[in-house]
Structures are given as C-alpha cells and as structure tokens.
Amino acid sequence: TTRLQGKTAVVTGASGGIGAATAILFAKAGANLVLLARRLEALEEVKAQCLAAAKEFGVEISVLVKTLDVTDRAAVDALVPALKAEGVKSFDVLVNNAGGAVGTEQAGDIKLEDIDYMVDTNLVSLIQVTQVFLPEMKAQDSGHIINIGSLAGRESYVGGTIYCAVKHAVKAFTRSLMKEVVATGIRCTEVAPGFVETNFARTRFRGDEEKAAAVYKGFDPLVAEDIAEEIVWCALRPPHVQIAELYVLPTAQASATIIARKL
Ligand code: 8X3
C-alpha cells in the first residue's frame, strides 16, 4: 500500500504532457483521480491508461473525467459542487498543471490577447482553481496543493516577458499560500521544471514544428514522466513533510540559455 491509496488527486491539464503522465503515476500509486481538461476524448484516453496502470499494479481506483476550461470562471466556481454530486468524497491532492507560453514576441510587440491568455491560464486560473478547493482542504485539515512552476519562475529571459512574469507570480503565490495555511494540515509545493519535451514548445512557437523541435535538439531533455515522478514523489512524502519547492533541470541544462547541445 502507498500513502496515496484511497486518496483523491485532482489534475488540471490532464489530457496530455505532464498532466497525463502525472495522472498515470498517481493511478499506479493507488490514488483515485479527477482529470480535468478541455478535450473530453483525450481525457477518456488518459482515463483508460490510468485504469490499465492501476490494474497492472493491483490497485482499485476510480477515475472521473470532466471537461473544464480553467479560464471559465463560472465552470471553476461550479466545480467542487459538481464533483461532490458525482461522488467525490475528499480532495487530497490538487495539481495545478494547466498552462503554457504563447509566442516569443518582445515587449512592445506582444498582442494583448496573448498577454491575457498567459496571465489567465497560468496565473489567474491557477489561483481561482486553488481557491475553490481550499475550503474543502481546510475542512478536512489536510490536502496538498502542487503548483507547476518553471525555470521561467527563477530566471527571466528574452522573449519570455509575460511567461516569466506569471511563473514568478506562481512561485510567489505558492509561497504566500504556504505561509497562510501553515497552521493547517495542508501542504504546498512548487515543482519547477526546465526544458521538458511536451507540446509546450509547439504552443510557444504557435505550431511551428521546426522551431519547436530545435528547442530539444542535441541533448536529453526532461520528459513528462520525469516531472510526473517528482510530483508523485512530493505527494507520497509523509504528512509532516512538505517539499516547498523542487527545481528540476535536464542534466545538460544549467539555465534558460546554457544548454550543452551535441549538434
Ligand atoms: C518551462 C519552459 O522554457 O521556461 O516552463 O524553461 S522554459
């Protein structure tokens, strides 16, 4: 048995990348799952993988999938009652994973819609999703909020003004929250990855496959499963252990621009 057996983990952005990989590892650890993302079909696929993984490890879990656009305030406000109505009894882990970077334009040339989108998905929505689960976790006097930060929350780089700003803000939000809930059983964690090969670069370069592929060329980048392992490891620590932050880089990466590529 693991410390996650019988617990429920909620994952946003669960339809792919780090979110999907995290869901599958939670399943192996015996956690029940609530998988949230915009695309139902992709979520159903991840659910099937979770159930298969749990079966392989001989654990019984339940997996609930629900379409959610984290930027839809009304949907986020209605989320917890909806999950309760569907039988979810506790909210033990929340992984705020949804987010991403769009574009590499520099300040002066950034479209307002891209600014709004990045601030909303990565920051405002993360805050609002956290806010709707917090009262539940406070009532339980237990819970774990795991926010996906970034190298971009540690460094600020050219072409990343908005993304770096919001990821710094995610780090600050997570740390303030940790202080606010210190007298409760709630834990707060920021997992901050460097380059992870997912759809991330594809979105950043607006679908330009060549530019996206170049980001991960000539070295071993992290893969989604690497970050999933760290997330689940944090969640598996005993209740009195709080991993406040975990900064995870590929071995060949030392900063946003120092990457040992063998090209
Ligand atoms: C991680 C991506 O490019 O900021 O969020 O390292 S990057």
ipTM of this predicted structure: 0.89
pLDDT in tens, 182-202: 999 999 999 999 999 999 999
CA-CA distance, 178 to 199, in Å (whole number)? 30
The mean pLDDT of 131-138, rounded to a whole number, is 98
Three-point CA angle 122, 65, 135, nearest 5° = 60
Closest CA to 147 of 13, 5, 3: 13
Distance from chain centroid for Cα 12:
6
Query: Other CB atoms closer than 10 Å to residue 127's CB: what's the count?
Result: 14
Test site for ligand 1: of 121, 150, 215, most ligand atoms within 8 A of the Cβ: 150
Three-point CA angle 19, 25, 144, nearest 5° = 70
pLDDT in tens, 146-159: 999 999 999 999 99
Residue 255 lies in a domain: no
The mean pLDDT of 21-44, rounded to a whole number, is 98
Structural domains of the chain, count: 1
Query: Ligand 1: which residues within 6 Å by Cβ?
Result: 150-152, 193-195, 256
**Residue 167 is a catalytic residue:** yes
Confidence of residue 112 (pLDDT cuts 50, 70, 90): very high
Q: Which of 47, 167, 171, 216 is catalytic?
A: 167
Q: Which of 66, 163, 171, 216 is catalytic?
A: 163
The mean pLDDT of 148-171, rounded to a whole number, is 98
Q: How confident is the model at residue 223, as a pLDDT?
A: 98
Ligand 1 atom 6, closest CA? 194
Residue 258 lies in a domain: no
Is residue 127 within 8 Å of 173, Cβ to Cβ? yes
Residue 259 lies in a domain: no
Residue 54 lies in a domain: yes
The mean pLDDT of 39-55, rounded to a whole number, is 98
Test site for ligand 1: of 102, 151, 167, 216, most ligand atoms within 8 A of the Cβ: 151
Residue 48 lies in a domain: yes
CATH number at residue 128: 3.40.50.720
Whether 131 has a pLDDT exceeding 90, the answer reads yes
Residue 63 lies in a domain: yes
State what percent of residues in the chain have pLDDT above 90.
Answer: 99
Q: How many angstroms does the Cα of residue 198 sit away from the middle of ligand 1?
A: 11
Task: List the domain range (segments joined by +) for residue 26.
Answer: 8-248
- Sheet-wide strand order for 245-248: 63-67, 32-37, 8-12, 93-96, 143-148, 186-193, 245-248
Whether 262 has a pLDDT exceeding 90, the answer reads yes
Ligand 1 atom 3, closest CA? 195
Residue 39 lies in a domain: yes
Strand partners, 147: 96, 190
State what percent of residues in the chain have pLDDT above 70.
Answer: 100
**Residue 163 is a catalytic residue:** yes
pLDDT in tens, 51-75: 999 999 999 999 999 999 999 999 9
Residue 204 lies in a domain: yes
Q: How confident is the model at residue 101, as a pLDDT?
A: 97
Q: How confident is the model at residue 182, as a pLDDT?
A: 98
On whether the pTM is more than 0.90, the answer is: yes
Closest CA to 12 of 127, 75, 97: 97
CA-CA distance, 234 to 188, in Å (whole number)? 10
CA-CA distance, 4 to 218, in Å (whole number)? 37
Residue with the bigger pLDDT between 176 and 263: it is 176
Q: How many angstroms does the Cα of residue 151 sit away from the middle of ligand 1?
A: 5
Confidence of residue 1 (pLDDT cuts 50, 70, 90): confident
